[in-house]
Structures are given as C-alpha cells and as structure tokens.
Amino acid sequence: MEQQLQNALQRVVGTKQVLRAVNDGKAARVFLGKDADGFIYHRVQALCEEKQVPVTVVDSMQELGKLCAVSVKTAAAAALK
C-alpha cells in the first residue's frame, strides 16, 4: 500500500490538505501516521469513513514523511484520483 503513495502521480501531504481532498472527493486512499495526535487521527479517520475513502495506517509519522519525500514528520497524506 505504501508503494501506492510513493508512486502516486498526485498526492497531498498534511492534515489540512488531506481533509480538503477527502471532502472534495479527490482522495483515492489516505495514509495516517499511527503516532499522530489523537484529535487529528480520529478526525481524519471519521471523515474517511463518512466519505468511504480507504485508510492505511503507517507505523510512524517519521516513516510517512519519508514515503512522501519530505524532511519532516507527517500526520496524514493522500494519494489523489
């Protein structure tokens, strides 16, 4: 599943952008860092359930950041349709 994020032609990184993409129906799959803040984690998870977007949990925000090729920890990312 992580390969899907790395190989995605378009992706968004960060909670605000992920929430916007899910709301707009543009997210194909969302990736969440297991160690993300509880409020953020549950907010993204709930919206994805509501919009029926699959969620993949990654071991850590550090690992998710590396998968997205950014040099910071990342709570959420999404591969776009």
- Domains of the chain, earliest start first: 2-80 (3.30.1330.30)
pLDDT value, residue 78:
95
pLDDT, block means (10 residues), the chain with 81 residues: 73 96 96 96 97 96 93 95 90
pLDDT value, residue 49:
97
C-alpha to C-alpha distance for 23 and 48, rounded to whole angstroms: 9
Q: pTM for the complete prediction?
A: 0.92
DSSP string, the chain: -HHHHHH-SSEEESHHHHHHHHHTT-EEEEEEETTS-HHHHHHHHHHHHHHT--EEEES-HHHHHHHTT-SS--SEEEEE-
HSE (side-chain half, CA atoms, 13 Å) at 76: 26
